[in-house]
C-alpha cells in the first residue's frame, strides 16, 4: 500500500470523491449509521490516503492539537472491506501516528474509538481512559497514545 498525506486543498476532486465514498460505504451503509460525515472539519485536517494501485483502500484524517481535541488526534479510520485481510488498518494507523509526529511535532494522540476495536488500537499503543459512551448510536471509548492515563 502506498500512503500519501495531503492537505484538503491538495486533494484532487477524484480523491475527495473517493475518500468520501469509502467513508460513506463503511460508516453509513456497512455500519448502518445515519450521521453527518461531512462535518466541516475536513478542511482543517491532513488526509492520510492508502492507495493500492489507483484505489483508496484505507484512510484517516489527522488533526493538530486544538483543531479537534485538545490533543492531536486521528479520526475517520477506515479500510475498504475487500482489503481488510491485508492488515492495511495497521499500516494506515502507523502512517497516521508518524504523520502526527512529523507534521505537528505532537506525541500525545487522542482517538474516539469504536469500542469493539479496543484491542486493535491497544496493539498500536493506545490506552483507554474513562468509560464507554455512545457516539452516533455506536459505543465508543476515548483512547490515548503516549499520555498518562
Residue 86 belongs to a domain with what CATH number? 3.40.630.30
CA 27 to chain centre: 12
Name the residue with cell 500525545: 108
- Please tell me the predicted confidence (pLDDT) of residue 34: 86
Inside any domain, residue 36: yes
Residue-wise pLDDT for 26-61, tens only, equals 999 999 888 888 999 999 999 999 999 999 999 999
- Please tell me the predicted confidence (pLDDT) of residue 149: 67
Inside any domain, residue 112: no
> What is the helix (H) or strand (E) element at residue 75, kind and residue range?
strand 72-79
Residue with the larger pLDDT of the pair 137 and 140: 140
pLDDT, mean of residues 111-140: 96
pLDDT band per the 50, 70, 90 thresholds, residue 147: confident
pTM, whole model, 2 decimals? 0.95
Split into its structural domains, the chain has a count of 1
Inside any domain, residue 79: yes
Residue-wise pLDDT for 73-90, tens only, equals 999 999 999 999 999 999
Inside any domain, residue 40: yes
Q: What are phi and psi of 108, to 5 degrees?
A: -85, 125
Inside any domain, residue 140: no
Inside any domain, residue 143: no
The length of the chain, given as a count of residues: 149
Q: What is the DSSP letter of 117?
A: G
Inside any domain, residue 51: yes
Inside any domain, residue 73: yes
Q: Which domain holds residue 57?
A: 2-107
Cell numbers that stand for 88 in this block: 492495511
Amino acid at each position: 500500500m502506498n500512503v500519501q498525506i495531503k492537505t484538503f486543498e491538495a486533494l484532487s476532486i477524484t480523491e475527495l470523491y473517493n475518500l468520501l465514498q469509502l467513508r460513506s460505504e463503511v460508516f453509513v451503509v456497512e455500519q448502518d449509521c445515519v450521521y453527518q460525515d461531512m462535518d466541516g472539519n475536513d478542511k482543517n485536517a491532513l488526509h492520510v490516503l492508502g492507495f493500492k494501485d489507483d484505489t483508496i483502500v484505507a484512510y484517516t484524517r489527522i488533526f493538530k492539537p486544538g483543531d479537534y481535541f485538545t490533543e492531536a488526534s486521528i479520526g475517520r479510520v477506515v479500510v475498504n472491506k475487500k482489503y481488510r485481510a491485508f492488515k492495511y488498518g495497521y499500516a494506515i494507523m502507523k502512517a497516521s501516528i508518524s504523520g502526527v509526529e512529523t507534521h505537528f511535532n505532537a506525541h500525545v494522540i487522542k482517538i474516539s474509538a469504536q469500542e469493539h476495536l479496543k484491542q486493535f488500537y491497544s496493539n498500536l499503543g493506545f490506552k483507554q481512559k474513562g468509560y464507554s459512551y455512545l457516539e452516533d448510536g455506536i459505543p465508543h471509548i476515548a483512547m490515548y497514545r503516549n499520555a498518562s492515563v
